[in-house]
Amino acid sequence: MVRTSWKAAAFTSFLVATQAQDSTVSSQYTSPTVYPSPNSTGSGGWDAAYAQAQQFLSQLNVTEKSWMVTGVRGPCVGNIAPIPRLGFGGLCLQDGPAAIRIADYASVFPAGITTASSWDKNFFFQRGAALGEEFRDKGAHVILAPVAGPLGRVALGGRNWEGFSPDPYLTGSTFSLSVEGMQSVGAQACGKHYIGNEQETQRNPSMNDEGETILAISSNIDDRTMHELYLWPFADAVKSGMASVMCSYNRINQTYGCENSKLLNGVLKDELGFQGYVVSDWGATHSGLQSINGGLDMDMPGTIGWTGSASYFGGNITTAVQNGSLAESRLDDMVLRIMTPYYFLRQENYPTVDPSTADLNSFDPAESNYTWNLEGEGSRDVRGNHAQLIHDIAAQSTILLKNTNGTLPLRSPKNIGVFGNDAADLANGLYNYADLNYAASPGYDLGTIAVGGGSGQGRFTTLVAPLEAIKRRAMQDNSVVQYVLSNEVATGSDNPALSGKIYPEPDVCLVFLKTWVSEGYDRNAYEADWNSTQLVTNVTSICSNTVVITHSGGINTMPWADNENVTAILVAHFPGEQSGNSLVSVLYGDVNPSGHLPYTIAAEESDYNTKVINMTIDNNTDPNAWQDDFTEGLLIDYRHFDQEDIEPLFEFGFGLSYTTFNMSSLSVGLSANTTLGQYPANSTIQPGGNPDLYTVLATVSATVSNTGDVYGAAVPQLYVSLPTDSTPEGTPVKVLRGFEKISLAAGASQQVQFPLTRRDLSYWDISAQDWALPADGTPSVQVGWSSRDLPLNGTITWMVGG
Ligand code: BGC
C-alpha cells in the first residue's frame, strides 16, 4: 500500500505558509488569479435567510466576526464557537459520507460507490435524508459530505468509495440528490473535496531530508476537462442549494485548493453562482489574506495544520481589518455566507450536540475556551428505522456480473460452503478500521468489510456479517453450512487439507473476497486482497458451483472470472451495517439484483490509462516535483475504453438480473425550437450557473418490458455522441446523459423518458468560455443496458445558429 499521510501524520510536516514559485515546473498548467471574491446575494430563494444573516451580522464586532470564520476546539470534528450574547450556540461540523463518524448509536449506511451502483434516484435522496436525520438528531449542523472529489479518475484511488462514480453525470445525480436529501431534513451538506483530489499519495505537503518542504501534488487539469468532468457534479449540487463546499488539500494547476482564486472566486462563486461558504479541508489552509481574498470563507480546524498553533485566520483577521489590509466587507461576506444557509435551514432551533460525541472526539472539549451546551441526552439512538433502508439500498446495489447454469437465486441448497476472511464477523471491535495501514495491522485479516477507513468510516452499532445471515437463512432449509475462514489455510497449496475440512462437496460454495481502502492511502493492487485469486482457485478445485462475492471500495480485476467453476459473481462493494442480510436477500432471490457497474472492470490492469503518481519511488526530492498532468483529458474510464476500442471484462453500466428485459420504440422529441443559439441565452446567474443551461432541448423516450418470469428492476441508460467534426479534439465517443431505474412485474412494460438539457448536449468552449452546442451536425443518442449494449439509436436534428 502506498503510504501517505492522514490526520496527525499529515500535519507534523505542515510548514508551508506560502506557495513556492519554482521555475523548474515544466507544466503548462497554471491558475490565474481572479479577484475580488464575489459577494453573496441570497439568490436562489435564500433572500429571507440572507436578510436574517444580515441582521445577525449587524450585531457582531470585528473580533466576533473573526470567530465566526475560524474553527476552535470543541465537541465535534469542526466547531464554530458559540456567541451566547446573541443566543448563537455555535456550529458543529461532523464527518462523513456513510455515517456520523464520531458518534454511538448511529447507522452505517452503504458507501457512496455502493449507492451509485443502485442507479436509483429515489435511494440517492432517501439515503441523504436518512443520514441528515441522524446528523441533525445528534446536533451536527454540517455534514462533511457528500463526496464528488475524488471523482474516481484513478482506479486505485484511496477515497473513490466515499464518492460515487468516475462518470460525472452519474456522480452529479447521486451528489446533488444526496445534498437535497440531507438538507430536506434541516442539516447542511458540505460537498467535498473541491477539486481534483484524485489521489491520496502526497495530497499534503511533506518534508525532504534537507528540511525543505515538498509541496502537495498538483492536479493539472485543462479548462474543458475541468468543466465537463470534475466540476460537473459540483454544478449540479450548487444548483440543488448546497450549503457548503470543502476545498481540497491538493494543488490545482500549481495553486493550493483553498487559495485558488480562479476556482473559488472565478468558477464556484461567479460562474456557478454559489451562495454558501467554502470551508477548508482540515489543515488545507496555507495562508491568511491570500486564502481569504482567494475565496476561502472558513478555516478548519482553526489551527495551522493540526499542530495546535494559531490559525492563519482568527486574531490575524482582526488585526488585518484593523490595519486596513483586509476589507471588512470581505469578512462580512464570509459571515453572511456561513449564516444564510443556517437560517435557511432553520438551524436556530436545532438539537444540542450529543454529549457522547464530545467523549468520543479525540479533541478534548474540556480544553476548549468556549462553553458548549452539552446538556442534552447522551448516547441518543438516532437510527430510527434506517436499517430497512440500508438493507434495501445495499441489496439493490448488488451487481450480478455472471450467472451460469442458473446458479442464482439459490433454491434451498442443503449443503453450503463458505470461504474467505471476509465472510465472518469483525474480530477487533466495531470501529475496527481506525488503524489506517490496515493490511499491515496484526489481527485485522479476519472480518467482513462493510465500510472503508479514515474520516469516511463509521462506528457500527450493529453489523450483520455474511456468515451469520447465511447460517440463519440456511436453518429454514435444515441445511449444513461448512466454512473455512482463514485465507492462510484456504490458500495453502495443500488442497486435500481444504477438502478434508469440507465434506461432502457443497451444493454451492460462496467465496468472500475483500479489498481494504482508506483515506490517506492509495491501493497498490487491482486484485482483491489476501491472496484472493489463489483462494478462488483452491475453492473451485473442490467445488464446481462457486459463487464469488466481493466487498471492496473500488475496481478489482478478476483473473478468475472465466473459470468455469465460478458460476456466479456478485459485487457488493461496501454495503454498510446490514451487509449479510442484504446479500442473503439477493442470494435467495427475495431481492432481484439490479445493481449496475458505476465504472469499468478491465480485462488487464494495463488497460487503464491513469495511475497514482508516486514520486517517492523515484526518490525525487524537488519541492515542486509532484505534478499530475491529467493529459487524458475527458477520456477516463469507459470513455478511454471506447476511444481505444478496448474490450473490458465488464463494462460501465453492466449488471444482470434474474429476469430479462427488452427495449423498443425509441423516439426523439424536440422542445419547441428547432433553431437554437449555439450558446445559452444571457441571463442572470443563479446557483448552478446560467439557468438556460438547464433548459430541456429534447426528450428521448423508449419502452422497457420485463420479458422474464419474475419481478425485477431495469436500468435503461442513454448515451449521447456529439459529432466529432464540429467539436474539438478529445470529445468522447459517447457520454452518459440519462438513466432511470424502473421496477416491472413479469410481462409488464413501461415507457421511460430522458430529458436532455442544453448542458447535456454541449461541450465547454474554451475560447468563448461558455457551453456550446456543436455548430454543425447533429448529436446522436443510443439507449440500452450498458455502455456496450445499446440496441436503440436515433439522432437529434436541429439547426444551430446565432
Ligand atoms: C478529510 C476530510 C474530513 C476532515 C475532517 C480530512 O482529513 O480529508 O474529508 O472531513 O479530515 O475529519
pLDDT at residue 311, rounded to an integer? 93
Write the CB contacts of 126 (distance below 8 Å, at least 6 apart in sequence): 181, 389, 393
Minimal-distance CA residue to ligand 1 atom 9? 455
The pairing of strands 627-629 and 218-220 is parallel
Minimal-distance CA residue to ligand 1 atom 11? 282
The class that CATH gives domain 386-599 is alpha beta
What number is the average pLDDT over the span 464-478? 98
Which of the listed CATH numbers 3.40.630.30, 3.20.20.300, 3.90.700.10, 3.40.50.300 matches domain 59-77+85-321+329-366? Answer: 3.20.20.300
Q: Which amino acid is at 496?
A: P
CA of 280 from ligand 1 middle (Å) equals 9
Q: How does the average pLDDT of the chain come out, rounded?
A: 92
Dmax (CA) of the chain: 83
Minimal-distance CA residue to ligand 1 atom 5? 282
pLDDT at residue 308, rounded to an integer? 74
Report d(CA 80, CA 89) in Å as an integer: 9
C-alpha cell of residue 111: 458507501
Minimal-distance CA residue to ligand 1 atom 6? 282
Q: Which atom of ligand 1 is nearest to the CA of 145?
A: 10
What number is the average pLDDT over the span 52-58? 98
Count the neighbouring beta carbons within 10 Å of the beta carbon of residue 742: 19
pLDDT at residue 707, rounded to an integer? 98
Per-residue pLDDT tens for 702-734? 999 999 999 999 999 999 999 988 999 999 999
pLDDT at residue 617, rounded to an integer? 59
Same topology between domain 59-77+85-321+329-366 and domain 659-800 = no
Minimal-distance CA residue to ligand 1 atom 8? 281
Provide φ and ψ at 469, rounded to 5°: -70, -35
CA of 430 from ligand 1 middle (Å) equals 21
424 and 467 Cβ atoms separated by less than 8 Å: yes
Of 253, 276, 318, nearest to 38 by C-alpha is: 276
pLDDT at residue 24, rounded to an integer? 43
Better pLDDT: 498 or 293? 293
CA of 7 from ligand 1 middle (Å) equals 8
Give catalytic residues, as residue numbers: 281
Instruction: Name the H helices within 566-606.
Output: 579-587
291 and 311 Cβ atoms separated by less than 8 Å: no
User: Does residue 76 surpass a pLDDT of 60?
Assistant: yes
C-alpha cell of residue 433: 478500521
- Which residue shows C-alpha cell 478548519? 300
What number is the average pLDDT over the span 110-123? 98
CA of 710 from ligand 1 middle (Å) equals 44
Instruction: Tell me, letter by letter, the H, E, C secondary structure of 158-185.
Output: CCCCCCCCCCHHHHHHHHHHHHHHHHHC
- Residues having CB within 6 Å of any atom of ligand 1: 77, 95-96, 144, 192, 281-282, 455
pLDDT at residue 497, rounded to an integer? 62
HSE-up (13 A, CA, CB side) for residue 368: 27
Q: Which atom of ligand 1 is nearest to the CA of 301?
A: 5
The pairing of strands 206-207 and 213-214 is antiparallel
pLDDT at residue 121, rounded to an integer? 98
Query: What is the helix (H) or strand (E) element at residue 332, kind and residue range?
Result: helix 328-344
pLDDT at residue 27, rounded to an integer? 58
- Lowest mean pLDDT across 233-237, 618-622, 670-674: 618-622
- Give the residue, out of 4, 73, 246, 281, with the most ligand 1 atoms within 8 A of its beta carbon, to mutate for a pocket test: 281
Q: Which atom of ligand 1 is nearest to the CA of 10?
A: 7
CA of 284 from ligand 1 middle (Å) equals 10
Per-residue pLDDT tens for 572-612? 999 999 999 999 999 999 999 999 999 999 999 999 999 99
Better pLDDT: 674 or 69? 69
Q: Which atom of ligand 1 is nearest to the CA of 95?
A: 10
User: Does residue 195 surpass a pLDDT of 50?
Assistant: yes
User: What ranges do the domains of the chain cover?
Assistant: 59-77+85-321+329-366, 386-599, 659-800
The class that CATH gives domain 659-800 is mainly beta
C-alpha cell of residue 204: 499534503
Q: Which atom of ligand 1 is nearest to the CA of 78?
A: 5
- Count of helix runs (H) and strand runs (E) in the chain: 20, 33
- Give ∠ CA 39-45-48 in degrees, rounded to 5: 80
Write the CB contacts of 255 (distance below 8 Å, at least 6 apart in sequence): 19, 31, 261, 262
CA of 335 from ligand 1 middle (Å) equals 22
Does 386 sit behind a cis peptide bond, omega within 30 degrees of 0 on the bond before it?
A: no
